[in-house]
Amino acid sequence: MRKEVVVITGAAGEMGQALIERLSEDGVNNILALDVNPIPKSLRARCQLALMGNILDEQLFGRLVSEFAIPRIFHLAALLSTRAEFTPEIAHRVNVEGTMNLLKLAVDQSGWLGIPVKFIFPSSVAVYGMPDLATKEREGAVREWEWNVPTTMYGCNKLYGEHLGRYYAEHYRQLAVDQAVHGVDFRSIRFPGLISAFTLPTGGTSDYGPEMLHQAAKGEPYACFVREDTRMPFMAMPDAIKALIQLEDAPKEALTTHVYNITSFNPSAGEMFAEVKRAFPNAQVAFEPDQRRQMIVDSWPVDQDDSRARKDWGWKPDFDQKKAFVDYLIPNISRRYADAAQPS
Ligand code: SER
């Protein structure tokens, strides 16, 4: 018998770490964590198996198929938007070919298991592309089908990943005589920028939000790479993880699409700084826009309309802006850096 596991790719990333913690707190004890980077030791103990490996490695997938039964996949691995602009072709390989490999794994597994394999895929606000600031301002919160013209490689990759998922879920090998009865149950969430009290993102363009806060908590000055009036949606990490789990749990009949927006609060960079300053009055932030990264955030909408997620699977964030800062970010981040400063 093959051992049943829940696969999490990108397990050493921000979302991966938070998801492993949450699932293991919920009693899930059969996580197979996969990442190109080492998975932090504290998390390895919460996993059945923690593998260092590349989602482009076919041999690795061969091993997974032969050793494990995989009814659920959280495919979180990706190169984020800033990083991807430096190596767009590599980003395409990781973000698109990597996703294909996982979808193929899901389809194979569903054949073995005789049930649809659940495939949870984080997409992003980066799939949107607003042509100019006037349009961004005028359009406000965008709906899932609007402005799907991303300007970044990452945005293009995520948008295509959504389409691939829909294809595997609904049209895979549609001309084959031996139509598979099972297949992939593909569910995706377009996340806004995420802010965690415990980790920092690497290579994203919404990173100015978390960076500003973490630098202030460390008592270090920060040069913010976007203008003060820059606005985009954000969310506290626990809400993002809650959403992944809630969407995974939702009854299939309730879902009317494969891809859902969610959102929580959308301060301007200046308002974010004001929030940070309330907690850390000595915080120093200089607004020194980097024109090219600014262009990327300017192409993202001021907000996402999440009414479909609210209606279909009862989505509602626990943390609005105030609560995110006061109840989650500030206390945890203060403790984190106070602990780090303690001599061991
Ligand atoms: N946080 C991501 C980025 O900045 C957007 O999904 O790339």
59-89 pLDDT tens trace? 998 889 889 999 999 999 999 999 999 999 9
Q: Name the pLDDT band for 339 (thresholds 50, 70, 90).
A: confident
The least confident of 233-237, 273-277, 338-342 is: 338-342
Ligand 1 pocket (Cβ < 6 Å) reads: 80-81, 124-126, 154, 191, 193, 204-206
What pLDDT is recorded for position 57? 95
**CA 91 – ligand 1 centroid, Å:** 13
Q: Kindly state whether residue 101 falls inside one of the protein's structural domains.
A: yes
**CA 193 – ligand 1 centroid, Å:** 6
What pLDDT is recorded for position 180? 63
What pLDDT is recorded for position 73? 98
Atom of ligand 1 nearest to the CA of 207: 4
Name the closest-CA residue to atom 1, ligand 1. 193
> Looking at residues 36-60, what average pLDDT do you find?
95
E-strand ranges in the chain read 3-9, 31-35, 49-52, 68-75, 117-124, 141-142, 184-191, 193-195, 222-224, 234-236, 259-261, 285-287, 303-304
What pLDDT is recorded for position 335? 93
Q: Kindly state whether residue 315 falls inside one of the protein's structural domains.
A: yes
235-273 pLDDT tens trace? 999 999 999 999 999 999 999 999 999 999 999 999 999
Name the closest-CA residue to atom 3, ligand 1. 204
Residue 183 makes CB contacts below 8 A (sequence gap 6+) with 107, 110, 116, 117, 168, 169, 172
186-242 pLDDT tens trace? 999 999 999 999 999 999 999 999 999 999 999 999 999 999 999 999 999 999 999
Q: Kindly state whether residue 214 falls inside one of the protein's structural domains.
A: no
Does the structure show a pLDDT above 90 at 52?
A: yes
The tally of domains found in the chain comes to: 1
**CA 335 – ligand 1 centroid, Å:** 26
Residue 278 makes CB contacts below 8 A (sequence gap 6+) with 325
Q: Kindly state whether residue 156 falls inside one of the protein's structural domains.
A: yes
Backbone angles phi, psi at 193, to 5 degrees: -60, 140
Does the structure show a pLDDT above 70 at 6?
A: yes
What pLDDT is recorded for position 66? 87
* Secondary structure string (H, E, C) spanning 100-159: HHHHHHHHHHHHHHCCCEEEEEEEEHHHCCCCCHHHHHHHCEECCCCCCCCCCHHHHHHH
Q: Kindly state whether residue 253 falls inside one of the protein's structural domains.
A: yes
Atom of ligand 1 nearest to the CA of 205: 4
The least confident of 146-150, 180-184, 312-316, 336-340 is: 180-184
The least confident of 4-8, 186-190, 340-344 is: 340-344
Backbone angles phi, psi at 139, to 5 degrees: -75, -25
Q: Kindly state whether residue 169 falls inside one of the protein's structural domains.
A: yes
Does the structure show a pLDDT above 90 at 181?
A: no
Element (H, E) at 241: helix 237-249
Atom of ligand 1 nearest to the CA of 80: 7
DSSP letter string over 260-280? EE---B--BHHHHHHHHHHH-
* Token code pair at residue 311: 């209606």
Q: What is the pTM of this model?
A: 0.96
> Looking at residues 131-139, what average pLDDT do you find?
98
137-166 pLDDT tens trace? 999 999 999 999 999 999 999 999 999 999
Q: Kindly state whether residue 127 falls inside one of the protein's structural domains.
A: yes
For all residues of the chain together, what is the average pLDDT? 96
Residue type, 120: I
**Which CATH number belongs to the domain containing residue 123 in this structure?**
3.40.50.720
**CA 127 – ligand 1 centroid, Å:** 10
Q: How far is 101 from 86, CA to CA, in rounded Å?
A: 23
**CA 261 – ligand 1 centroid, Å:** 14
Give me the domain span that covers residue 84.
78-197+234-265+301-320
Q: Name the pLDDT band for 344 (thresholds 50, 70, 90).
A: low
Percent of all residues in the chain with a pLDDT value above 90, rounded to a whole number: 92
The least confident of 287-291, 296-300, 333-337 is: 333-337
Q: Kindly state whether residue 103 falls inside one of the protein's structural domains.
A: yes
Name the closest-CA residue to atom 2, ligand 1. 204
Residue type, 156: C
